[in-house]
Amino acid sequence: MAKDIRRLFELFETSPVLVAAYDEFDRLRYANAAFRSAYFLEPDEMPLWPDLMRRNFHARRGTVICIADFEEWLRSTQSRRGKVGYRAFETDLFDGRWLWMTETVEKDGWMLCVATDVTGLKAKTRAVRQDRDLAIKASYTDELTGVANRRFVTARIDDMLQQPVGQTSPGCLCVLDIDRFKSINDQFGHQTGDTILRDFAMRIHRLVRRTDCFGRVGGEEFVLTLPATPVEQAKLILERMLASVRKSRPLQGRPDFGYTFSAGIAGAQPGDTAISLYARADRALYMAKLAGRDRIHLDETDPDRSAVAG
């Protein structure tokens, strides 16, 4: 067996096809010679995917990213990256090559990336497919904040609920709502409100795992899916998010201005649909608001509710 594995790696190393594997935290764990050459990686390097993309963007090498605000592009891309079991798309490199990239995600969050050089395809056909990919991206992205939109998040809730019941928790749904957002709009104007929404999306997104999905569903309300995550762990994740937002001072010229959010958490139960799970998380959010805002409330109907303080 060990000999077969060594032979497999030897084949990968000499193949012109780009092969890489990322763990559930989106850290590179393996890359063959073709992948390392295309993305300027040293043999023993294991960077996080966003760090790799960031450094290549600033060095103008690797993937061509035609956008002025890299962090906005990164936030939008990470909102969709690794959220479905398989996806395929085209990408171009600064060296002139075009790649057909596939991403296959296992249940434990590990991702296999395989890319083939398709530079020889007709440019006209390639442009049509690229336009299609951009349209698909736009249909799944919230235009203001750059995170996933209601359509994409709802599909991920359905995915979470369709996972086979095993020993681990099927997951949790969290509904997040910025506190007193209407008052912020009324006092400072809608432009400031938009600034708050973008700041909130950025701060929360930084704390989201690749296997999770965070998106805006409307107004000041956002949703976070946490697959295979028990309620007590979901509460810890949300508490870190509460602390991060409390520290934010997003308005230039107003260093004293801060804001908070409230959240409701519901653990998926047998027979749940996206609608029923969302309704329970939304009801928990309402209870958090009634209790004084800037806090988390857990769904009272969750059988594990008694094990976690609300």
User: What confidence tens digit (pLDDT) does each residue in 157-211 have?
Assistant: 999 998 766 656 789 999 999 999 999 999 999 999 999 999 999 999 999 999 9
Among 235, 213, 209, smallest CA distance to 224 is for 213
Report the phi/psi class of residue 261: left, alpha or beta, with left for phi > 0 and alpha for psi in -120 to 50: beta
Tokens coding 194: 């938009």
Per the CB < 8 A criterion, the answer to whether 86 and 79 are in contact is: no
Q: What is the mean pLDDT of the chain?
A: 90
* 113 bridge partner residues: 20, 103
What pLDDT score does 309 carry?
43
CB neighbours of residue 302 within 10 Å? 19
User: What confidence tens digit (pLDDT) does each residue in 252-279 have?
Assistant: 989 999 999 999 999 999 999 999 999 9
Give the catalytic positions in this structure: 220
Q: Is the pLDDT of residue 127 over 70?
A: no
What pLDDT score does 2 carry?
62
Q: Which amino acid is at 206?
A: R
How far CA 188 is from CA of 185, 202, 255, 256, 257, in Å, comes to: 5, 20, 14, 14, 11
Report the range of poorest mean pLDDT among 53-57, 130-134, 199-203, 302-306. Answer: 302-306
Look up the pTM and report it. Answer: 0.81
Among 222, 232, 231, 262, smallest CA distance to 245 is for 262
Among 206, 78, 97, smallest CA distance to 146 is for 78
1-139 CATH pick, 3.40.50.720, 1.20.200.10, 3.10.20.600, 3.30.450.20 = 3.30.450.20
Q: Is the pLDDT of residue 125 over 70?
A: no
Handedness of CA 181, 186, 192, 193 (dihedral sign): positive
The span from the CA of 59 to the CA of 64, in Å, is 11
Among 267, 310, 259, 255, smallest CA distance to 288 is for 310
Per the CB < 8 A criterion, the answer to whether 110 and 21 are in contact is: yes
| C-alpha R_g of the chain | 21
pLDDT range class, residue 138, cuts 50, 70, 90? confident
190-205 vs 231-246: helix axis angle to the nearest 10?
A: 130
Cα 231 vs. chain centroid, distance in angstroms?
20
What pLDDT score does 168 carry?
67
Q: Where are the chain's structural domains?
A: 1-139, 150-298
The span from the CA of 171 to the CA of 167, in Å, is 12
Q: Which amino acid is at 55?
A: R
pLDDT range class, residue 136, cuts 50, 70, 90? confident
Per the CB < 8 A criterion, the answer to whether 264 and 282 are in contact is: yes
Q: Which amino acid is at 108?
A: D
CATH topology of domain 150-298: Alpha-Beta Plaits (3.30.70)
How far CA 128 is from CA of 57, 131, 184, in Å, comes to: 25, 5, 43
User: What confidence tens digit (pLDDT) does each residue in 84-121 have?
Assistant: 899 998 899 999 999 999 999 998 899 999 999 998 87
Buried b (16+ CB within 10 A) or exposed e, 83-100: beeebeebbbbeeeebbb
